[in-house]
Amino acid sequence: MNNSLNFDKQHIWHPYASMQNPLDVELVKSAHGVYLELEDGKKLIDGMSSWWSAIHGYNVPELNQAITNQLTSMSHVMFGGLTHSPAINLAKTLVDITDKTLEHVFFSDSGSVSVEVAMKMALQYHHSLKNIKKTKFLSLKKGYHGDTFGAMSVCDPVTGMHSIFQDVLHQNLFAPSPTCKYGEECKNEDIAEFREILKTNHHNIAAVILEPIVQGAGGMNIYSPDFLKKVKKLCDEFDILLIFDEIATGFGRTGKLFAYEHAGVIPDILCVGKAITGGYMSLAATLTNKKVVQGVEADGNILMHGPTFMGNPLACSVANASLQLLLNSPWQERVDSIQKNLHVELKKCEKLEIVKEVRTLGAIGVVELNRNVDLAWMSKEFVKEGVWVRPFLNLVYIMPPFIISEDELKKLTSALYNVIVKFEQLPK
């Protein structure tokens, strides 16, 4: 092990990893296109888009130039009392590409914080309107919304990785994860428990928060758009705000620019992040409608939130370039092609005894196994195959950059199949 990796192992915490018994990590030297180049020269096809954010791949000339240009004027300026063109232009684009009712934009520096802001908006909306009992949120099991305290409180208590904090988290409500699959009708029994929770607790619920169509790190569940339609109808019936967390699904990942478009259902509050900058910098936004703003600011109140790096010019500039690159590209055709290839290639995994289910939508491919993976073993096997895939729990999944070629995607899906076959043959 070289000195850098040795120092890393002894001193640097990695996400969801032990500091005392750390897993080995790969030392990345550079990244170009869909490839991560390791220090030893080995190149890996990135199947994760750096946790779903690098939709254009790496070292993108247009994005590099956007940051370089912005550096010549200013890298940062406080957003309190000041503004700048990169933030204004980004807000204009976000307002333009989302539903016309989502006309107000709050910038923050990470997806988790955008969820915190959305939750604060919902709570303050009801408090300002004297609905002081509405202090809880209804979320879905298998949901994941981030690792900060408010966000943790609406993650699945079991699969959300935060069970150790249950005694100190705000106690919220959870409905079953949708069982109606994408393309299927959502029957009354599929929404019955959700409806009952709202009916019983609506006097105490400020908002419903969920990931539309695709639940991410809590279980990679892909469900029926019809479920969202029924949720929206219930929220309207019981005077409850609806928050969509599209941090993972936004900007084309599911085949629509935003996942809510699959259902034609518009939330009161929308959270976006990850791919907003093409994976270059940390940035997120919370969008909302006029009703929420007027409620939040009733009686002269204001939303008391203001991150230091709110509306960072560098991040906004690269986000502007990333969104223009996306919108001016044939992204829909690319994502549709990825989906068709994933459906065909990953279907081969279904014949393996260890595989419980294969799910695909847009540029998302999921192979659910009958037992949890051995992360240390499987990560090394994927590197041997020349790809970078980071499974979790019993899920082996990929979310490749939109620019991936058919040959590169074939190598990625073949690697999934090969490694899962080897894993099946290991002693349990």
**Cβ neighbours of 191 (radius 10 Å):** 22
* Contact predicate 207/122, CB 8 Å: yes
Q: 414 in helix, strand or coil? A: helix
Tell me how far apart the alpha carbons of residues 176 and 164 are, in angstroms, rounded to a whole number. 21
Tell me how far apart the alpha carbons of residues 115 and 215 are, in angstroms, rounded to a whole number. 15
Terminal Cα distance for the chain, rounded: 30
| The token pair that represents 88 in the structure block | 């204004």
Residue type, 286: T
* Contact predicate 273/247, CB 8 Å: yes
Cα distances from 114 to residues 155, 172, 261, in angstroms, run 15, 18, 20
DSSP string, 249-262: TTTTTTSSSSGGGG
| The token pair that represents 165 in the structure block | 């904090």
Q: Show which residues are catalytic.
A: 16, 144, 245, 274
* Contact predicate 387/407, CB 8 Å: no
Cα distances from 217 to residues 35, 183, 370, in angstroms, run 23, 22, 17
Inter-helix orientation angle 331-346/406-425, to 10°: 30
To which H or E segment does residue 34 belong?
none
To which H or E segment does residue 151 belong?
helix 149-152
- Strand locations in 103-215 (E): 104-108, 136-140, 173-175, 205-210
